[in-house]
């Protein structure tokens, strides 16, 4: 699993927010404590968003080989069908020429 920028920034904001909150509570600053708590919430949200992005990225990478194989199979079926149509048309016109 890769670590996204959101996850790293989120962890940073969580740690900084925790420190601000602790300092604010230690010195009796409600404003600083509240800012710290808000920054922690922001950090948690960023980490959650990072986890979503990482999960989507990982799922897409896990799916790539199967998607490539499926795309190859579809191309093969399309070209095979086109060849069959061509041969069918040639046969139909060949029968008419022979008649």
Q: What is the per-residue pLDDT across 59-94, written as a single tens digit (0 to 9) for each?
A: 888 888 888 899 999 999 999 999 999 999 998 888
pLDDT reported for residue 25: 97
pTM above 0.85, yes or no: no
Kindly state the helix (H) or strand (E) to which residue 34 belongs, with its residue range.
helix 30-98
Residue 3: pLDDT over 80:
no
- The CA-atom distances, in angstroms, between 3 and each of 7, 12, 16, 32, 46 are 6, 13, 19, 30, 12
d(CA 27, CA 34): 13
Residue 33: pLDDT over 90:
yes
- CA 2 to chain CA mean position, Å: 11
């Amino acid at each position: 699993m890769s670590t996204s920028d959101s996850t790293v920034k989120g962890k940073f904001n969580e740690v900084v927010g925790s420190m601000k909150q602790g300092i604010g509570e230690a010195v009796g600053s409600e404003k600083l404590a509240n800012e710290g708590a808000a920054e922690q919430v922001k950090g948690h949200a960023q980490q959650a968003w990072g986890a979503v992005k990482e999960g989507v990225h990982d799922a897409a990478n896990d799916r790539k080989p199967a998607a490539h194989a499926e795309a190859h199979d579809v191309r093969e079926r399309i070209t095979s069908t086109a060849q069959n149509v061509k041969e069918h048309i040639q046969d139909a016109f060949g029968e008419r020429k022979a008649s």
